[in-house]
Amino acid sequence: MSQLEMKKDQSMVLQKQMIASHFERLEQAPETKEPVVYTFVPGNLTELIRSFGCLPVLPEINALQSGMRGKSRAYIREAERHGHSEDVCTYVKCDVGMMKSGNIGPTGTRLPKPDLLLLSYTGCYTFMKWFELLREEYDCPTVFLHVPYQGDGVLEPQHRAYVIKQLKEKLIPMLEQISGKEFDEEALAQRLAWSSQAEDDLVAVLEAAKNSPSPIDSYFGGVYYVGPIFSAFRGTAEGAEYYKLLRAEVEARVAAGQGPETPSGRLDEQRFRLVVEGPPNWTHFREFWKMFSDEGACVVASTYTKVGGTYERGFRHDPKDPLGTLADYCGGCYTNLNLPDRVQMLCDYVTEYAADGFLINSVKSCNSFSAGQLVILQEVEKRTGIPGGFIETDLVDPRYFSPANIKNRLESYFQMLAARKAVA
């Protein structure tokens, strides 16, 4: 086993099979006539999409998987050859470059053209411009579901009603049109029940990190844990089964007093417990992770694993209120929270997960996450008394990952944490 390989849990193997099967189904969609809906992770309405027999495609998931498979560099260059600036979100450029290169997905199968572009707007302005580009390319119907920003930290009743009205009057009629099927509230309710079951199990997995040693890494390992629920498998029976299996694996590690598998081996001896803000880098994912695991650093909580839902705060999709619960879900996504709410979430993580440090990975081309991060750093340090760290990478552009620079910063930060613990 090479130094960047790691032992795979059964759930990781199952997830890989699920993803491969989904992409094969997408490739066959032009023949099977299954409608295809392109949408995004934050605030995605997978249960509603699937209740009409449609297949979801998530462009930013395609981009990050292309980054992990070493394909994003060529796609980004292709997009820049078509006039896209270096400062544009690299998810966008990767997706556009992939589209211009034949629209071959990260697993090697061809992606079908969308029958509908569904933008559930939850705080990222770039998504709007991204879908404008796709609309020009594919010339297909587009629905813009506007989700009000939680300026005061809550989704007000009138905001909730506004989202429900859009679902009823704009989105559902369009899904009926492209699928040829009438809205079936019972079918949607069943999918929401599967979602709720999966969300229960995911929360149990993430909160298992309160144990010492933590049985999971909630940032790097968390990427795998949230993959199905953030993408095409929330609201499916196979998604619910996946999270049942994952929870059993994690609970077995807790019972055995074991840490997670990492690129450095199983991390039972954990020197540092960290909370991390910001998305990870995908082009050097395992190398990045190894910089942490080599130092015995385990991430016990992260904000990235909340992009597709803040379930540990108590939200569950409610089958008894199908459209209302979809509105609540969209409004509560991490990117739709205001800055004070994000700061409080991080402070709660530091306390509840007994963290030694708080680290920000600021992503060059992701304004949605990066805006306000220095203020977040100062506030979390002030309120919790633990030292913060700050590094910079990018999502899927390998030109903005400097291994030596990042490793030096992390080593200095861990040395400071070690000295602080020694004094304590």
Copy the structure tokens of residue 318.
């409610």
In whole angstroms, what is the distance from residue 295 CA to residue 327 CA? 42
Residue 195 has pLDDT above 50, yes or no: yes
Q: What is the Cα Rg of the chain in Å?
A: 21
Look at residue 2 in the predicted model and tell me its pLDDT. 41
Residue 385: CB partners within 8 Å, gap ≥ 6? none
- Residue whose tokens read 């990235």: 304
Average pLDDT of the segment spanning 282-300: 97
The interaxial angle of helices 220-230 and 10-32, nearest 10 deg, is: 30
How big is the chain, counted in residues? 424
The interaxial angle of helices 237-256 and 10-32, nearest 10 deg, is: 170
Question: Please, which pLDDT band fits residue 154 given cuts at 50, 70 and 90?
Answer: confident
| Strand positions, DSSP E, 304-408 | 357-363, 388-393
- Cβ–Cβ contacts within 10 Å for residue 77, how many? 13
Transcribe 201-234 into DSSP letters. Answer: HHHHHHHGGGSSS-SS-TTHHHHHHHHHHHTT-T
Give me the percent of the chain exceeding a pLDDT of 70.
99
- At 72-120, the pLDDT tens digits run 999 999 999 999 888 889 999 999 999 999 999 999 999 999 999 999 8
Look at residue 149 in the predicted model and tell me its pLDDT. 86
Look at residue 165 in the predicted model and tell me its pLDDT. 98
Look at residue 88 in the predicted model and tell me its pLDDT. 86
Look at residue 335 in the predicted model and tell me its pLDDT. 84
- Residue whose tokens read 């392109």: 38
Look at residue 3 in the predicted model and tell me its pLDDT. 41
Look at residue 277 in the predicted model and tell me its pLDDT. 96
- At 29-83, the pLDDT tens digits run 999 999 999 999 988 999 999 999 999 999 999 999 999 999 999 999 999 999 9
> 84 by DSSP, 3-state: which?
coil
Residue 291 has pLDDT above 60, yes or no: yes
Judge whether 382 and 350 are in contact, CB under 8 Å. Answer: no
Q: Residues 358-387, buried b or exposed e (16+ Cβ, 10 A)? A: bbbbbbbbbebbbeebeebbebbeeebebe
In whole angstroms, what is the distance from residue 300 CA to residue 355 CA? 7
Q: What is the mean pLDDT of the chain?
A: 93
- At 369-393, the pLDDT tens digits run 788 899 999 999 999 999 999 999 9
> 31 by DSSP, 3-state: which?
helix
Kindly list the distances between the CA atom of residue 242 and the CA atoms of 59, 228, 260, in Å, as whole numbers in the listed order: 23, 8, 18
Look at residue 227 in the predicted model and tell me its pLDDT. 93
In whole angstroms, what is the distance from residue 393 CA to residue 369 CA? 13
Judge whether 120 and 48 are in contact, CB under 8 Å. Answer: no
- Cβ–Cβ contacts within 10 Å for residue 120, how many? 24
Residue 1 has pLDDT above 70, yes or no: no
Average pLDDT of the segment spanning 125-137: 88
Average pLDDT of the segment spanning 133-140: 90
Could you give the domains of the chain? 10-187 (3.40.50.11890)
Beta bridge partners of 119: 144
Residue 4 has pLDDT above 70, yes or no: no
Q: Phi and psi at residue 300, in whole multiples of 5°?
A: -95, -15
- Residue whose tokens read 């040395």: 415
**Beta pairing, strands 272-277 & 265-266:** unpaired
Question: Please, which pLDDT band fits residue 6 given cuts at 50, 70 and 90?
Answer: low
Residue 285 has pLDDT above 90, yes or no: yes
Judge whether 260 and 266 are in contact, CB under 8 Å. Answer: yes
